[in-house]
């Protein structure tokens, strides 16, 4: 099984290598100036000499990102459970949540910078707002997803609302909750980085990108983007791995697992 | 708020003997559903008395209200008129006192719980201690021949095994009454025969009162002490047929003339219900 | 139109509640500022009511009241000529143009690549994992760089922003359409095989119609992403105007009311785009039978 999964990785890996090789070749052969497109080797070299700077940027951005992600997802989950008690609130809040989820929320970044200052709390605030609504909408939908028969079963046991919630509806909602957690990893990355375009102390991945672009230090921009890409994928991968462990029973994982 | 029901396991079936009188009494029950295309009369003036320890099957074409009647007994539907008594209580009291176990058409096992965890679910809700839960789960698994499968997940079992687990779940808190809504409808005939025999043995051993919805004539005749024949639109009872085979009956009785005679009477009853409709 | 009648009262209630909370928050957040202003002016004879009213009508509040935002929007949409740089219509149209151009390009490329991926096996196995991974990385971080690189080639104005809008909508649309083209069940594909249908026929008769729900979902996500892309691009190169430029200018000069107005304009634009696609979806859905 492990072998199969490894085998599946070979073509994309090779494809990536070919692209990198072509990139290097074209840049060198055509003499593309670094300020337009640096060669992969140049980016790697820049990365290696800039590790301390990149690490400082990473920690600065990750602070706001994680704080915002935890608060945003957590409050979305709690509000969803509260809203779920009232059909009236659900009818009122759900269309709002759906609407807001489609809005360009990153735009609130300048307001958050004014309210919470240049440091990471303002970035966390942007991330909170961005991650809250997807979590709310998904959890409410998830809590609705238990089948009528499963609910009737709880009713025949004379189960209380709280027992029905903990024994049936929350577990049934887990796939939806994890869906929101996964979507939110990307949204949190976007929020944390873009919010830094609007002002930071002189550190952070978004800050680094916007200033180095100004100095035409394109190789440093690429090095920062590399860090952002690896961070984003790792964050997503971590949540997906937890999902696989927690919702192992879901049909989408059974086929591979059992 | 509902601490009372959490703290003490509240069914009188545990330890104390059931109260005297019939297990279930249905008096002049009618039930109308309001649908988008107007009202649908699901049940019309149904009267029925089920004595303790009986095995009563409900048979009829789809739409005859047999499932609705069972759901009304379980307080999952509310009759528009009439009264239903379960162990002398109204249906809501009976449900809150956990007088019955319900088995649905499909096993409805929670995929995130092991088989043992599923059987323990009602016990957790009713506040049994861990030790007692473990003991009852073990007993339940033995009862339906699933010993050794407790740590499997439901989706790792066959359909027949899943339905057996759901029966063990319904029996785990030892209710007096078992309500079964076409529990074997989705299974193939070979598995169904085997489960029918096991169910009979289980009924004989435990002395439960069973209400059993089916649309298989041989199944109804083979299992029951009484067969209730129903007809659709509006759903009502057209015939109640006694069926007095010995309790330890074997599959072979299906070849006997007595069996075929009863099966024939059921068939005629079903046909009469239809011609009335047409 | 999509909202059921019995949801109207709850929605109105929630909206009113949001407004109430907003007013309360505005009063609470601005009152200290206003108190300082009174103190600086040497005034101490104000009542609580004066303080609240003044807090809700400051020129540069921490949080403007809803009526201030509405007034600003009316002023900059209706009362200002659309050609003026102070008009939200002027900036909104710039953003809309970038978004639409980018979205159309991104959608065309995305659908095209999805078609290629489902028909060319080696591309599928080698490219799809990268496309999926692209969903997990903040590709928007590339926006400032793309603007600068394109300006090296003297590509300025609408084009670089449309390019960013295009690539931001491109990835989710590609991933969604690959899923959509793959959505027919094995049995349905087997049926086409029994007719010995060509792969073109299978595509036209089965894969394309089956992908319709995915198509509309992808279009909605793509349009919203394109708008975000356009706005972020405008932030990085703000001299050409656009709602993003308004946001940035507002934050430079502490013009909070202007920021909120631009934000609401962007929200309205996004809601209108997604709503329009939703409308087409419902019409198509009724004809094709995948929605009621």
Q: Is the pLDDT of residue A256 over 60?
A: no
Give the orientation angle of helix C143-152 with respect to helix A205-214, to 10 degrees: 10
Q: Which residues of A touch B121 (CB under 8 A)?
A: 157, 167
Which of A148, A157, A170, A256 has the highest number of chain B CBs within 10 A, making it the mutation to test binding with B? A157
Residue C168 and residue C42 in one domain: no
| Residue B261 forms part of a structural domain | yes
User: Distance from CA of residue C52 to its chain's centroid?
Assistant: 34
Q: Is the pLDDT of residue A198 over 50?
A: yes
Q: What percent of chain C has pLDDT over 70?
A: 97
Q: Which residues of B touch A163 (CB under 8 A)?
A: 6, 125
User: Tell me, what's the pLDDT at A65?
Assistant: 93
Residue C218 and residue C183 in one domain: yes
| Residue C68 forms part of a structural domain | no
Q: Which residues of C touch A88 (CB under 8 A)?
A: 9-10, 13
Contact between residue A143 and residue A170 where contact means Cβ atoms under 8 Å apart: yes
* Residue C114 in contact with partner chain A when CB distance is under 8 A: no
User: Tell me, what's the pLDDT at B6?
Assistant: 35
Q: Tell which residue, B211, B46, C254, B143, has the closest CA to residue A110.
A: C254
| Residue C76 forms part of a structural domain | no
Cβ separation A167–B124 shorter than 8 A = yes
Name the minimum distance, in Å, from the CA of A124 to any CA of chain B. Answer: 34
Alpha-carbon span B11 to B14, nearest angstrom = 6
| Residue B87 forms part of a structural domain | yes
Nearest to A150 among B5, B108, B124 (CB): B108
* Residue B186 in contact with partner chain A when CB distance is under 8 A: no
Query: β-strands B55-59, B226-231: how paired?
Result: parallel
Termini Cα distance of chain A: 11
User: Tell me, what's the pLDDT at B5?
Assistant: 35
- Encoded tokens for A250: 């879901």
Alpha-carbon span A175 to A139, nearest angstrom = 9
Cβ separation A168–B110 shorter than 8 A = yes
Alpha-carbon span B209 to B178, nearest angstrom = 6
| Residue B139 forms part of a structural domain | no
| Residue B246 forms part of a structural domain | yes
Residue C177 and residue C138 in one domain: yes
User: Tell me, what's the pLDDT at A173?
Assistant: 92
User: Tell me, what's the pLDDT at C140?
Assistant: 81
Residue C56 and residue C102 in one domain: no
- Encoded tokens for B129: 């201690």
Compare C123 and C161 and report the one with higher pLDDT: C161
Domains and CATH numbers, chain A: 50-257 (1.10.3720.10)
Residue C43 and residue C134 in one domain: no
Cβ separation A174–B112 shorter than 8 A = yes
User: Tell me, what's the pLDDT at C292?
Assistant: 47
Q: 3-class DSSP state for residue C172?
A: helix
Termini Cα distance of chain C: 13
How many alpha carbons fall within 13 Å on the CB side of residue B211? 29
Residue C224 and residue C188 in one domain: yes
Mean pLDDT score, C132-155: 80
Which position has the token pair 């040497």?
C42
Q: Is the pLDDT of residue C26 over 70?
A: yes
pLDDT in tens, C51-97: 888 878 777 788 888 888 888 888 888 777 777 777 888 888 999 99
| Residue B53 forms part of a structural domain | yes
User: Tell me, what's the pLDDT at A2?
Assistant: 58
Query: Which domain does C26 fall in, by range?
Result: 5-63
At B211, which CATH number? 3.40.50.300
User: Tell me, what's the pLDDT at C289?
Assistant: 66
Which of A148, A156, A169, A250 has the highest number of chain B CBs within 10 A, making it the mutation to test binding with B? A156
Query: β-strands B209-214, B38-50: how paired?
Result: unpaired
Q: What percent of chain A has pLDDT over 90?
A: 26
Write phi, then psi, for A158 (nearest 5 degrees).
60, 35
Q: Is the pLDDT of residue C2 over 80?
A: no
| Residue B170 forms part of a structural domain | no
Query: Which domain does B214 fall in, by range?
Result: 21-99+175-277
| Residue C280 forms part of a structural domain | yes
Residue C100 and residue C236 in one domain: yes
Which of C6, C61, C137, C164 has the highest number of chain A CBs within 10 A, making it the mutation to test binding with A? C137
| Residue C79 forms part of a structural domain | no
Which position has the token pair 């964050």?
A235
Residue C127 and residue C38 in one domain: no
Size of chain B in residues:
278
| Residue C251 forms part of a structural domain | yes
Nearest to A254 among B95, B108, B155 (CB): B155
pLDDT in tens, C211-260: 888 899 899 989 998 998 898 888 877 778 888 888 888 878 878 888 88
| Residue B140 forms part of a structural domain | no
- Across the A/C interface, how many CB contacts are shorter than 8 Å? 150
Name the minimum distance, in Å, from the CA of C102 to any CA of chain A. Answer: 16
Q: Which residues of B touch A156 (CB under 8 A)?
A: 74, 76, 95, 100-102
Give B49: exposed, middle or buried? Use CB within 10 Å, 0-12, 13-18, 19+: middle
| Residue B244 forms part of a structural domain | yes
Identify the sign of the CA torsion B130, B135, B138, B141: negative
Alpha-carbon span B70 to B83, nearest angstrom = 14
Question: Looking at this predicted complex, what is its ipTM?
Answer: 0.80
| Residue C115 forms part of a structural domain | yes
- Encoded tokens for B196: 């029918």
User: Tell me, what's the pLDDT at B273?
Assistant: 63
Residue C173 and residue C113 in one domain: yes
Residue C157 and residue C30 in one domain: no
Write phi, then psi, for B10 (nearest 5 degrees).
-100, 5
Q: How many domains does the structure of chain B reveal?
A: 1
Q: What percent of chain C has pLDDT over 90?
A: 15
Alpha-carbon span A92 to B18, nearest angstrom = 48
User: Tell me, what's the pLDDT at C7?
Assistant: 77
Residue C238 and residue C121 in one domain: yes
Residue C154 and residue C116 in one domain: yes
Contact between residue C23 and residue C56 where contact means Cβ atoms under 8 Å apart: yes
Report residue C42's pLDDT band, with 50, 70 and 90 as the boundaries: confident
Q: Which residues of C touch A65 (CB under 8 A)?
A: none
Q: Is the pLDDT of residue A146 over 60?
A: yes
The ranges of chain B with pLDDT < 50 are 1-15, 275-278
Q: Is the pLDDT of residue C287 over 80?
A: no
Helix (H) / strand (E) containing B241: strand B236-242
At C174, which CATH number? 1.10.3720.10
Alpha-carbon span B123 to B120, nearest angstrom = 5
Q: How many domains does the structure of chain C reveal?
A: 2
């Amino acid at each position: 099984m492990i072998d199969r999964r490894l085998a599946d990785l070979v073509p994309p890996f090779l494809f990536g290598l070919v692209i990198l090789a072509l990139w290097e070749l074209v840049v060198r052969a055509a003499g593309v100036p670094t300020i337009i497109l640096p060669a992969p080797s140049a980016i790697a070299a820049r990365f290696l000499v800039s590790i301390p700077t990149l690490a400082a940027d990473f920690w600065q951005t990750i602070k706001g990102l994680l704080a915002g992600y935890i608060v945003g997802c957590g409050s979305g989950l709690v509000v969803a459970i509260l809203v779920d008690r009232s059909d009236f609130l659900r009818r009122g809040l759900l269309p709002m949540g759906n609407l807001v989820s489609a809005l360009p929320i990153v735009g609130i970044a300048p307001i958050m910078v004014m309210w919470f200052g240049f440091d990471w709390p303002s970035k966390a605030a942007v991330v909170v707002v961005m991650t809250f609504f997807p979590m709310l909408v998904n959890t409410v939908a998830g809590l609705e997803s238990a089948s009528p028969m499963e609910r009737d079963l709880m009713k025949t046991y004379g189960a209380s609302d709280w027992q029905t919630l903990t024994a049936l509806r929350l577990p049934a909602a887990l796939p939806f909750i994890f869906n929101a957690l996964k979507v939110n990893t990307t949204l949190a990355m976007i929020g944390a980085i873009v919010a830094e375009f609007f002002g930071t102390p002189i550190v952070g991945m978004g800050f680094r990108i916007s200033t180095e672009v100004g100095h035409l230090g394109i190789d440093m921009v690429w090095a920062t983007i590399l860090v952002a890409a690896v961070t984003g994928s790792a964050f997503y991968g971590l949540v997906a791995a937890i999902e696989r462990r927690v919702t192992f029973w879901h049909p989408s994982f059974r086929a591979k697992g059992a | 708020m509902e601490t009372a029901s959490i703290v003490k396991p509240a069914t009188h079936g545990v330890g104390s003997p059931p109260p005297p009188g019939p297990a279930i009494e249905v008096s002049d029950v009618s039930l109308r559903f309001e649908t988008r295309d107007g009202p649908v009369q699901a049940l019309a003036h149904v009267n029925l008395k089920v004595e303790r320890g009986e095995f009563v099957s409900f048979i009829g074409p789809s739409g005859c209200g047999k499932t609705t009647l069972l759901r009304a007994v379980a307080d999952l539907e509310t009759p528009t008129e009439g009264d239903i008594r379960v162990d002398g209580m109204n249906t809501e009291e009976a449900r809150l006192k956990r007088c019955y176990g319900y088995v649905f058409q499909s096993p409805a096992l929670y995929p995130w719980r092991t088989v043992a965890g599923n059987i323990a679910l009602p016990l957790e809700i009713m506040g049994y201690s861990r030790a007692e839960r473990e003991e009852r789960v073990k007993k339940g698994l033995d009862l339906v021949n699933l010993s050794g499968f407790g740590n499997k997940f439901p989706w790792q079992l066959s359909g027949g095994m899943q339905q057996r687990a759901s029966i063990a779940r319904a029996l785990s808190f030892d209710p007096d009454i078992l309500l079964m809504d076409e529990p074997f409808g989705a299974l193939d005939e070979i598995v169904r025969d085997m489960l029918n025999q096991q169910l009979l043995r289980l009924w004989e051993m435990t002395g439960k009162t069973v209400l059993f919805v089916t649309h298989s004539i041989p199944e109804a005749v083979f299992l029951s002490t009484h067969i209730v024949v129903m007809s659709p639109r509006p759903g009502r009872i057209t015939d109640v047929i006694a069926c007095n085979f010995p309790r330890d009956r074997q599959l072979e009785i299906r070849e006997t003339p007595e069996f075929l005679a009863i099966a024939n009477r059921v068939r005629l009853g079903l046909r009469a219900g239809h011609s009335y409709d047409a | 139109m999509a909202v059921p009648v019995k949801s109207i009262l709850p929605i109105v209630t929630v909206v009113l509640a949001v407004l109430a909370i907003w007013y309360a928050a505005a009063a609470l957040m601005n009152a200290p500022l206003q108190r300082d202003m009174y103190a600086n002016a040497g005034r101490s004879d104000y009542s609580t009511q004066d303080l609240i009213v003044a807090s809700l009508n400051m020129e540069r509040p921490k949080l403007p009241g809803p009526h201030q935002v509405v007034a600003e929007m009316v002023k900059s949409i209706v009362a200002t000529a659309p050609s003026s740089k102070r008009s939200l219509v002027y900036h909104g149209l710039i953003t809309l143009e970038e978004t639409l151009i980018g979205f159309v390009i991104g959608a065309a490329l995305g659908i095209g690549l999805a078609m290629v991926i489902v028909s060319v096996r080696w591309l599928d196995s080698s490219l799809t994992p990268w496309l999926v991974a692209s969903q997990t990385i903040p590709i928007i971080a590339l926006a400032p760089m793309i603007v600068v690189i394109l300006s090296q080639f003297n590509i300025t104005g609408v084009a670089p922003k449309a390019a960013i809008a295009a690539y931001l909508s491109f990835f989710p649309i590609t991933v969604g359409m690959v899923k959509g083209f793959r959505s027919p069940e094995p049995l349905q594909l087997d049926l086409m095989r029994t007719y010995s249908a060509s792969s073109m026929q299978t595509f036209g008769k089965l894969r394309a119609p089956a992908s319709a729900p995915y198509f509309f979902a992808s279009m909605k996500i793509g349009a919203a992403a394109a708008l975000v892309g356009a706005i972020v691009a405008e932030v990085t190169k703000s001299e050409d105007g656009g709602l993003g430029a308004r946001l940035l200018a507002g934050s430079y000069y502490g013009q909070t009311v202007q920021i909120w107005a631009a934000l609401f304009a962007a929200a309205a634009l996004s809601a209108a785009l997604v709503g329009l696609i939703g409308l087409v979806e419902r019409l198509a859905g009724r004809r094709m039978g995948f929605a009621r």
